[in-house]
Amino acid sequence: MGIDVDRVIVTTFAIGGLLAGVAGILFAMVFEVVGPFMGFIPGIKAFTAAVLGGIGSIGGAALGGLIIGLLESVGPSLFLTGFGIPGVNQLKDVIFFTILVLVLIFRPGGILGTGESEKV
């Protein structure tokens, strides 16, 4: 069809690497600390967003990221306020990982995925 597949793959990885570099620079400018593990938590959250929305679905990954953002901002005060837990905002990671586990139990393919686990 005239499309050079190798060129598309190289271009995709180049753009991805460039965007990752820009994200790293912006992250370092905001938090003013550079370390070898500074991208671990954002990487885990991005992977969680992709799994939550459905692997292979770009819209699902965007929806997963939106859900994670909402759960981090309003989840602790929404779900944990009445239990008398001090410092509920420190439990924001627990909230969205619990939602991830529930989604993986009931819809293994993610929210916008097939809903069926893959058979190997």
Q: Assess contact for 37 and 92: CB atoms under 8 A.
A: no
Q: Is 35 left (phi over 0), alpha (psi -120 to 50) or beta?
A: beta
State the 10-residue block means of pLDDT for the chain, 120 residues long.
Answer: 89 94 87 82 83 82 86 81 78 81 83 63
Q: What is the pLDDT of residue 9?
A: 94
Q: What is the pLDDT of residue 22?
A: 93
Q: What does the domain layout of the chain look like in residue ranges?
A: 1-38, 39-120
Q: Assess contact for 52 and 100: CB atoms under 8 A.
A: yes
Q: What is the pLDDT of residue 14?
A: 96
Give the up-direction half-sphere exposure of residue 18: CA atoms within 13 A in the CB hemisphere: 6
Q: Assess contact for 67 and 99: CB atoms under 8 A.
A: yes
Q: How many other CB atoms are found less than 10 A from the CB of residue 6?
A: 7
Q: What is the pLDDT of residue 119?
A: 60
Who contacts 80 (Cβ-Cβ below 8 Å, separation ≥6)?
Answer: 88, 91, 95
Q: What is the pLDDT of residue 17?
A: 94
Q: What is the pLDDT of residue 85?
A: 77
Q: What is the pLDDT of residue 10?
A: 96
